[in-house]
Every structure is written in C-alpha cells, then in structure tokens.
Amino acid sequence: MISTARVPADKPVRIAFSLNDSSDDPPPEDSIPLVFPELDQQLQPLPPCHDSVESMQVFKQHCQIAEEYHEVKKEIALLEERKKELIAKLDQAEREKVDAAQLVQEFEALTEENRTLKLAQSQCVEQLEKLRIQYQKRQGSS
C-alpha cells in the first residue's frame, strides 16, 4: 500500500528525487528541488513511494507536467495582457477615426460658410460701388 501525505496548497513544496536505489550516491545535478505553490491542491504532485521505481517515474512525469502547466499559464497571462493592450489600441484608433471624421465635417462646413461669406462680401462691395456711383451722379447733377 502506498502512503501519501497532503501538503497545504499555500505552502511551497520542495521535492528532490532520484531513480537510483542507492541512497549513498549524491543527488544528480539535474534533480533540482521543484516548487509548485501556484498549483491547486488537487493538482499538486503527491510524494512518491521511494521503494517503487514506477512511483518515482510517475512522480517525475507529474512534476514535468506541472512545470509545463505553469509555463502555459504564464503564457496565457501574457497573451491576455497583450490582448488587453491591443483592444485599448484599437479603441483609441477608433476614437481618433471618429474625431478625424468630425473634424473633416467641421472643416467642410466652415469652408462652405467661408465661401458663402465671401460671396456675400463681394455682393456688398458691388452694391456699395453702385450706391457710390449713384450718389456721385446725384451730386454731379445737383
């Protein structure tokens, strides 16, 4: 029977293991203690039965999967952040596009108003000139 111990999820778990039967050998350099504090309790690797090679292999595989899971979660978080940044940029671009369209409309309206005012000014200048001529004719005839 395999005995297992549960460790609270909020405490880091440091695990080192070796598939060698000899306990006198120093641990290999690639057996760095693993820590999985970010994993949910039900996803934490259970300590292996040190007397079983199969248990040690399953434990090692579980640790590798847990590490991959952690990397995938980090990548998802980075991609979610990038998604938020891109959505914000898109929103800003759409606001600028709307602002530009409004400025174009305002420019067109002001251009039309300017044209109308110039036409009215030239008509007033013509009318003033006609009135001056009439006034001069009246002055000359009197």
Q: What is the pLDDT of residues 16-55, one digit of tens each?
A: 555 554 444 444 434 434 457 777 878 888 888 889 999 9
| Domain contains 88 | yes
| Domain contains 57 | yes
| Domain contains 63 | yes
Of 13, 89, 84, nearest to 48 (Cα)? Answer: 13
| Domain contains 106 | yes
User: What is the predicted pLDDT for the residue at 16?
Assistant: 52
- Within 8 A by CB and 6+ apart from 134, the residues are none
| Domain contains 17 | no
| Domain contains 16 | no
| Domain contains 12 | no
Span 9-13, average pLDDT: 55
- Within 8 A by CB and 6+ apart from 40, the residues are 9
- For residue 69, give its domain range: 52-140
**pLDDT higher than threshold 70 for residue 100:** yes
| Residue 107, token pair as written in the block | 């420019």
| Domain contains 111 | yes
Among 4-8, 62-66, 112-116, 120-124, where is mean pLDDT lowest?
A: 4-8
Asked whether the beta carbons of 18 and 25 are under 8 A apart, the reply is yes
| Residue 49, token pair as written in the block | 């039965």
Per the structure, how many domains does the chain have?
1
Helix, strand, or coil (residue 116): helix
